[in-house]
Amino acid sequence: MIPCTVLSRRALILVLATAVTGSCTGASPDLSIKSTIKEVHAMKDANKMIPPVSSFTSAPLRNRLRVELKAPVSEVWALIGDLSRFPEYSSGLEKVVATHDASGALTEYVCHFKPGENNGEGISHREKIRWYEPNRGYASSGEEGNAFGLSNDLNLVAVEPSEEGTILTWDEYYDAEDLDSRRADYDQALMDIGEHLRRRFGGAIVGRYVDR
């Protein structure tokens, strides 16, 4: 990770160099400077560190999905970072209720799933926020004794700028008694999420992993 102080000095050099270049070529210095500053901000966001997974769970990575979306990080995060909007890109969810503390920080969210074909009642699942960084990502863990039989679990979602717009990585770490079923369920759920996001923003699924 590049220290912020180094990045700031580089940013200043880039801005000054762009202003001079713009004057020599006849390009508008103001437009060039704005473009450079925007790139610098994107670099800073990309270099915000994601906490090590080992600080939250000892479980291995079981499922992963990577999607490259044709939209800027801020636009993707406006959707992904607002957990109450989760049902907009997940077919199995009826609604999600997000809870914030007095300072406005997100503390937990409860997913209310649609009833299954052979089940008249939907399942509710509570997730506690472990890490949350705007325009970078979030991590959460399910409460103990959850309906899915998960333990030692971590849901980690991260976004980063790319040439096309944004790369979103969705990782699932967990232990479970019936690992085969959970792997298959997560794989299906993540592919559903990926397809919803791809149709919404444009782009493509660029990575898919299932632990075997």
User: Are 19 and 64 contained in the same domain?
Assistant: no
pLDDT confidence of residue 120 = 67
pLDDT score for 31: 53
* pLDDT of the chain, 212 residues: tens digit per residue: 334 444 444 444 444 444 444 544 455 555 555 444 444 454 455 557 899 999 999 999 999 999 999 999 999 999 999 999 999 999 999 999 999 999 999 999 999 999 977 666 789 999 999 999 999 999 999 999 999 999 999 999 999 999 999 999 999 999 999 999 999 999 999 999 999 999 999 999 999 999 98
- Residue whose pair of structure tokens reads 């992963």 in the numeric block: 64
Q: What is the pLDDT of residues 68-79, one digit of tens each?
A: 999 999 999 999
Sheet with 93-100: list strands edge to edge: 93-100, 106-113, 124-133, 137-142, 150-161, 166-176, 61-69, 203-210
Q: Give helix 179-201 / helix 73-80 axis angle, nearest 10°.
A: 130
- Pair (173, 68) in one structural domain: yes
Please tell me the total count of domains within the chain. 2
Do 10 and 63 belong to one domain? no
**Same domain as 123, residue 19:** no
Range of the domain at 119: 53-210
28 and 57 together in one domain: no
Whether the Cβ atoms of residue 174 and residue 58 lie closer than 8 Å to each other:
no
Considering the domain architecture, whether residues 126 and 100 belong to the same structural domain is answered as yes
